[in-house]
């Protein structure tokens, strides 16, 4: 059967936020792209499957990047001297304007997609730009990699810059429908997602039209929420009838419930907004690297986890400076420690088990049964050669802990998405 095999090695995966399974010298079985669980010996029923021998290497689920901006990869690690709104106007909007040029989009997205394909990420939720041809170029390239992604053509009909703003709600909505019609049936693994940039970028009229398009095409939604204090204050002025920032999306049915939704940041979400997120089943993309770089703040990660919010991690490149999701796990742990020490000592820091959960099972849920080797989960896996870090007689748990802190794409030997081997 296609995409059916067994991998032998040192296996690690999450069964829940505080439940990390480690199994030395085991077998993980994949049948038709679906995990059949892990075993000490090859079960009789699977005797005929090919065994890939990765003895001594670590096998774990592929990592999920719940929030990343493809066009911003170009200026990652630059321009961290400003807060969000000035950063957007000074660096981000002028750069994204360049993707009106298809030749530029081709060259630049080639680089982004190559780097994402090499990384530990198997699934990602991605912002493109407002440009339809550029967004389709990005989707074409992603489809060739075997990664499974959601990609959004960005909508913005106010508060941009002349070179990066759609003329009006009608123009923006029509471009969105043109995009959806152009890609209908074109891809297996590259899926469209409705992408109002954030409330300051979208008029009520546009939000209303996007809501209708979302319903007509039955699509999920991604956007930004309560990232920065000045942004939150601005949204209050822009949408005075909203009870909170999240409500400015909910008013248009673009905030969970039937609309599967992921909101990046939620640093400044108050109790009312957090309750709205929870009630509507909105996913939070926690982006600690970005939140530090843009001095946005420290999200109450422990609160989100103990409230049972749906939550994963986002690189938010170029707010975040790299695609390496291991690094974003570390940032999640570190920033939770700073929040505990400096802001609120009732919210304990997260540990490495929870960080792995966030980057696999937590974010994976946005894609369905994804992010674990539990029986029935879609088989996304990375195989890591940690020889370089194996100094003493470490337990598998310790090896995994060190991988989280020290590994990057250079340590990967294999990568699988839904049972398909990418390398």
Which of Fe ion, ligand GUN, none does 117 bind, CB closer than 5 to 8 A by kind?
A: none
**Angstrom distance (rounded) from CA 334 to CA 144:** 35
Regarding 227 and contact with ligand GUN (CB under 6 A), the answer is yes
CA-angle at 394, arms to 389 and 399, nearest 5°: 50
Number of residues located near ligand GUN, criterion CB under 6 A: 11
Which residues 298-337 are close enough to bind Fe ion by CB under 5 A?
316
- 218 by Cβ neighbours in 10 Å (0-12 / 13-18 / 19+) ranks as exposed
Regarding 316 and contact with ligand GUN (CB under 6 A), the answer is yes
Q: Which residue is nearest to ligand GUN (CB)?
A: 319
CB 287 to Fe ion: min, Å? 7
Give the closest residue to 328 by CA, choosing from 225, 409, 405, 411.
405
21 vs 161 by CB, closer to ligand GUN:
161
Please give the helix or strand (H or E) that residue 39 lies within, else none.
strand 34-39
166 vs 316 by CB, closer to Fe ion:
316
Regarding 92 and contact with ligand GUN (CB under 6 A), the answer is yes
8 vs 76 by CB, closer to ligand GUN:
76
Provide the pairing of β-strand 310-313 with 283-286. parallel
72 vs 119 by CB, closer to Fe ion:
72
Query: Stretches 84-92, 303-311, 405-413, 415-423: which one binds ligand GUN (CB under 6 A)?
Result: 84-92
316 vs 365 by CB, closer to Fe ion:
316
Query: Stretches 19-27, 74-82, 204-212, 264-272: which one binds Fe ion (CB under 5 A)?
Result: 264-272
**Angstrom distance (rounded) from CA 17 to CA 357:** 5
CB 79 to Fe ion: min, Å? 14
Regarding 319 and contact with ligand GUN (CB under 6 A), the answer is yes
Which positions ≥6 away from 336 have C-beta within 8 Å? 298, 301, 302, 347, 349, 350
CB 291 to ligand GUN: min, Å? 9
Query: What is the C-alpha R_g of the chain?
Result: 21
CB 234 to ligand GUN: min, Å? 11
49 vs 262 by CB, closer to Fe ion:
262
Query: Stretches 23-31, 137-145, 179-187, 261-269: which one binds Fe ion (CB under 5 A)?
Result: 261-269
Kindly report the backbone phi and psi dihedral angles of residue 109, in degrees, each rounded to the nearest multiple of 5, phi listed first. -70, -30
Any bridge partners for residue 286, and if so which? Answer: 313
Which residues 192-221 are close enough to bind ligand GUN by CB under 6 A?
197-198
In the numeric block, which tokens belong to residue 235? 């949204």
Any bridge partners for residue 259, and if so which? Answer: 256
Provide the pairing of β-strand 381-384 with 51-61. antiparallel
In the numeric block, which tokens belong to residue 47? 């005797």
Residue 134 · residue 124 · CB < 8 Å: no
69 vs 328 by CB, closer to ligand GUN:
69
Query: Stretches 114-122, 137-145, 246-254, 256-264: which one binds Fe ion (CB under 5 A)?
Result: 256-264
Hey, how many other C-beta atoms are within 10 angstroms of the C-beta on 132?
18
Q: From the list 8, 23, 36, 69, which residue makes contact with ligand GUN (rule: CB under 6 A)?
A: 69
Q: From the list 153, 224, 260, 414, which residue makes contact with ligand GUN (rule: CB under 6 A)?
A: 224
Tell me the residue length of the chain.
Answer: 423
- In 3-state terms the chain splits into helix, strand, coil percentages (rounded to 5) of 40, 25, 35
| Binding positions for ligand GUN, rule: CB under 6 A | 69, 84, 88, 92, 197-198, 224, 227, 290, 316, 319
């Amino acid at each position: 059967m296609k995409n059916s095999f067994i991998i032998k090695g040192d296996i690690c995966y999450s069964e829940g936020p505080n439940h990390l399974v480690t199994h030395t010298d085991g077998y993980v079985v994949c049948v038709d792209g679906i995990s059949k669980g892990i075993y000490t010996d090859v079960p009789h029923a699977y005797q005929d499957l090919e065994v890939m021998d990765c003895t001594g290497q670590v096998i774990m689920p592929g990592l999920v990047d719940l929030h990343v901006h493809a066009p911003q990869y170009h200026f990652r690690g630059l321009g961290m001297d400003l807060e969000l709104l000035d950063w957007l106007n000074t660096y981000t909007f002028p750069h994204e304007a360049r993707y009106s040029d298809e030749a530029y989009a081709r060259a630049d997205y080639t680089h982004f997609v190559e780097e994402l394909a090499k990384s530990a990420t198997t699934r990602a939720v991605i912002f493109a730009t407002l440009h339809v041809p550029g967004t389709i170029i990005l989707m074409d390239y992603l489809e060739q990699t075997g990664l499974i992604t959601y990609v959004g053509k960005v909508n913005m009909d106010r508060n941009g810059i002349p070179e990066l703003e759609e003329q009006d709600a009608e123009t923006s909505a029509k471009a969105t429908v043109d995009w959806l019609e152009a890609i209908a049936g074109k891809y297996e693994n590259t899926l469209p997602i409705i992408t109002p940039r954030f409330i300051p970028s979208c008029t009520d009229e546009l939000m209303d039209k996007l809501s209708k398009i979302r319903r007509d095409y039955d699509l999920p939604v991604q956007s930004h929420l309560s990232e920065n204090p000045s942004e939150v204050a601005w949204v209050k002025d822009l949408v005075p009838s909203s009870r909170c920032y999240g409500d400015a999306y909910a008013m248009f049915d673009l905030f969970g419930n039937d609309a599967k939704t992921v909101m990046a940041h939620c640093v400044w979400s108050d109790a009312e907004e957090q309750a709205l997120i929870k009630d509507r089943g909105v996913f939070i993309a926690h982006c600690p690297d970005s939140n530090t770089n843009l001095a946005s703040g420290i999200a109450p990660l422990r609160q989100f986890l103990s409230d049972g919010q749906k939550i994963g991690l986002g690189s938010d490149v170029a707010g975040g400076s790299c695609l390496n999701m291991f690094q974003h796990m570390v940032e999640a742990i570190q920033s939770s420690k700073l929040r505990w020490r400096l802001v609120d000592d009732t919210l304990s820091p997260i540990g490495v088990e929870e960080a792995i959960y966030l980057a696999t099972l937590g974010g994976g849920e946005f894609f369905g049964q994804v992010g674990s080797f539990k029986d029935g989960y879609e088989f996304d896996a990375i195989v890591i050669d940690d020889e370089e870090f194996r100094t003493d007689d470490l337990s598998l748990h310790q090896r995994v802990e060190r991988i989280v802190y020290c590994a990057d794409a250079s340590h990967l030997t294999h990568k699988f998405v839904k049972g398909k081997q990418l390398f």
